[in-house]
Amino acid sequence: MALKLYNTYTRKKEPFKPIKKGQAGLYTCGPTVYNYAHIGNLRCYVFEDLLKRILLYDCFKVKHVMNITDVGHLTSDQDEGEDKMDLAVEREHKTPEQIAAFYAESFFSDLKKLNIIMPDIKCKATEHIQAMIDLIKRIEKNGYTYIGENGNVYFDTSRFKDYGKLARLKLEDQKAGARTDIDDNKKHPRDFVLWFSTTGSKFKGHLQKWSSPWGEGWPGWHIECSAMSIEYLGDNFDIHCGGIDHIPVHHTNEIAQSEAATGKKWVNYWLHSEFLILDKGKMAKSGGNFITLQTVMDKGFEPLDYRYMCLTAHYRSKLNFTWEALENAKSSFTTLKNIILEIKKDKTSNKTKDYDRYKKDFEKEINDDLNIPRALAVFWEVLRDKKLGSKEKTELIIDFDKVFGLGLKELKEEKVDVPKNILELVEKRENARKNKDWALADKIRNQIKEKGYSLDDTNEGVKVKKI
């Protein structure tokens, strides 16, 4: 079944046609490593992991590149504010290198906990400064730059006729929203910095700086993604991903500078994930309203409970986060795992006609612009099918989980060391059930649940599990 993807650039679903048959070049915007990633950030990385898993499921050979921003990202995406790495240094009294190393390690630890497949290439901005300088030279040679009185090298957006097409920006409206108090060195409000100079700009004390043809300085944020993606994937590649907040500025600027340098189309498919919403607003570090994966774990949830929650909403739909919603996701995921554990114990085999239908339905949904919620519904159909044999169910579970990434192939029943007081309550409940005192039995079950344990009444007797 052919994969269809919603291309932000064209605003429609399109069949995926790779540049090279059977291969897919994938670039995903990585983190700025000045602070912990929050679960809103991580939702985007789960989406990108699902895309990658579907490409692999469809037998594409994927080359996945992710950048690590350890220089150049200001507190605003539009060349405003302070450098995020400098602010982190001031906050934590460490070097930029120490800051970057610590938060990069934390980020990749979060990805592993969420069972996200690691990128094939993880590239640090600070290790690719020359590639950025070389790309700026190409842009300059083609006539798309100018140097401000402050020494900064700017990209001239008026020279690029399709500037703003990704975000549907109207360049004729620029002057209405111009703020000359921000940077009066710009010829046009949407022009952006390719290279910051430390000689005449407000960033004279910037901690990270390099020599360049334009004097000592450091790269703008946008140029790094263009330089590194071109270095590893070429002047034209298949897919570029990120959050929707990157559309109006970062990705718009990436397209302009990349195509100004190469003179041809840069990326064929643009995919963007929606926000995770917290209290009716997007989760963001700048607002202080962000929750880390460690916070989720400290509340008694497993990282894969959050991954399961992400599967319940389409990547182009907002996902409302509440602790109650996460609790519901955890409950559903726990039920799913318990059903699978029972299926694995059963050795029956019966390949009904629905076996092939389930597989076909699953492939249809995942290839319809990553419709994971519908694919998950197919998965639940399989689990609830009373005619399909356990052997066949297990085959489908393992196959479908290549996309879901919930670790179901390795799922095993946990051995629970049940405290003596819980065992005593279980025994009291069993006695109440024998005496048909159902009210007392339910009361004791609730007491056991409040203490962090659940009960399953099976043919082999009651089973106690840690919640």
What pLDDT does residue 392 have? 97
Residues 393, 424, single domain; the answer is no
Residues 218, 344, single domain; the answer is no
Separation of alpha carbons 241 and 239, rounded Å: 7
Residues 239, 302, single domain; the answer is no
pLDDT tens profile 196-253: 998 766 666 678 889 999 999 999 999 999 999 999 999 999 999 999 999 999 999 9
Q: Among 27-36, 77-86, 89-98, 296-305, where is mean pLDDT lowest?
A: 77-86
What pLDDT does residue 455 have? 84
Bigger pLDDT: 166 or 419?
166
What pLDDT does residue 178 have? 43
Residue 286 lies in a domain: no
Residues 126, 222, single domain; the answer is yes
pLDDT tens profile 320-353: 999 999 999 999 999 999 999 999 988 899 999 9
Bridge partners for 240 per DSSP: 27, 270
Residue 390 lies in a domain: yes
In terms of phi and psi (left: phi > 0; alpha: psi -120 to 50; beta: otherwise), the region of 224 is: alpha
Separation of alpha carbons 331 and 114, rounded Å: 18
Any idea what the CATH number is for the domain that residue 146 is in?
Answer: 3.40.50.620
What pLDDT does residue 1 have? 77
Residue 284 has pLDDT above 80, yes or no: no
What pLDDT does residue 184 have? 84
pLDDT tens profile 77-119: 777 777 788 888 889 999 989 999 999 999 999 999 999 999 9
Give the count of domains, the chain: 3
How many angstroms separate the most distant Cα atoms in the chain? 90
- Pairing relation of β-strands 145-147 and 121-124? unpaired
Query: Which backbone phi and psi does 253 adopt, to 5 degrees?
Result: -70, -35
Report CA dihedral (87, 90, 92, 95) to the nearest 10 degrees.
Answer: 90
DSSP 240-259: EEEEGGGIIIIIHHHHHHHH
pLDDT tens profile 347-391: 899 999 999 999 999 999 999 999 999 999 999 999 999 999 999
Residues sharing a CB contact under 8 Å with residue 263, sequence separation 6 or more, in sequence order: 142
Q: Name residue, tokens 């005192």.
A: 437
Residue 181 has pLDDT above 50, yes or no: no
Residues 57, 198, single domain; the answer is yes
Residue 282 has pLDDT above 70, yes or no: no
pTM of the complete model beyond 0.85:
yes
Mean pLDDT of the chain: 91
| Domain limits for position 453 | 420-466
Query: Which backbone phi and psi does 192 adopt, to 5 degrees?
Result: -140, 160
Residue 415 lies in a domain: no
Bridge partners for 454 per DSSP: 465
Percent of the chain whose pLDDT exceeds 90? 76
